[in-house]
Amino acid sequence: MIEARRLHILRAVADHRTVTAAAAALYLTPSAVSQQLTALEQETGHRLVERSARGVRLTPAGEILLAHTNAVLAQLERAEAELAAYSSGAAGTVTLASFATGIGLVVAPALAWLAETAPGIRVRVQDAEGDASLPMVLDRQVDVAVAVEYRGAPGADDSRLTRVALYAEPFDAVLPGGHRAADSERIPLAELAKDPWIGPFPGNPCHDVVVLACEQAGFQPVLEHTSDDFRAVVALAAAGAGVALVPRSALRGMEVTGAVVRPVDGNAPTRRVFAAVRTGAEGHPLIAPVLDALGEAAG
- 255 and 186 in a common domain: yes
Q: How confident is the model at residue 268 (pLDDT cuts 50, 70, 90)?
A: confident
- Domain finish residue from 58, 83, 108: 83
- 62 and 32 in a common domain: yes
- 294 and 147 in a common domain: yes
**What pLDDT is attached to residue 90?**
67
- 125 and 103 in a common domain: yes
**What pLDDT is attached to residue 89?**
61
- Domain finish residue from 83, 112, 147: 83
List the beta strands (DSSP E) in the chain: 49-52, 55-58, 92-98, 121-127, 144-148, 161-176, 196-199, 222-226, 244-247, 259-263, 270-278
Mean per-residue pLDDT, 269-278: 92
Beta carbons of 234 and 248 less than 8 angstroms apart = no
**What pLDDT is attached to residue 1?**
74
- 159 and 286 in a common domain: yes
- 278 and 263 in a common domain: no
Beta carbons of 106 and 167 less than 8 angstroms apart = yes
> Which residues 6+ apart lie within 8 Å of 14 measured at CB?
58, 62, 66
The CATH number of the domain where 191 resides is what?
A: 3.40.190.10
Highest mean pLDDT among 8-22, 75-89, 99-113: 99-113
- 76 and 108 in a common domain: no
Q: Coil, strand, or helix at residue 166?
A: strand
Sign of CA dihedral 154, 157, 160, 166: positive
Q: How confident is the model at residue 76 (pLDDT cuts 50, 70, 90)?
A: confident
- Domain finish residue from 67, 83, 99: 83
- 29 and 71 in a common domain: yes
For residue 168, give the nearest of 273, 74, 38, 40 by alpha carbon.
273
Quote the radius of gyration of the chain (alpha carbons, Å).
22
pTM over 0.75: no
Sign of CA dihedral 298, 108, 236, 253: positive
Q: Coil, strand, or helix at residue 109?
A: helix
What does the pLDDT look like over 99-127, one tens digit per residue?
Answer: 988 999 999 999 999 999 988 889 999 99
Highest mean pLDDT among 61-65, 221-225, 265-269: 221-225
Count: domains in the chain: 3
Question: What would the DSSP string read from start to end of 11-50?
Answer: HHHHHHSSHHHHHHHHT--HHHHHHHHHHHHHHHTS--EE
- 74 and 192 in a common domain: no
- 257 and 111 in a common domain: no
- 184 and 154 in a common domain: no
Looking at residue 89, the DSSP 8-state letter turns out to be -
* Residue 75 domain boundaries: 4-83
- 282 and 136 in a common domain: yes
For residue 200, give the nearest of 119, 131, 259 by alpha carbon.
131
Mean per-residue pLDDT, 198-214: 89
Beta carbons of 12 and 25 less than 8 angstroms apart = yes
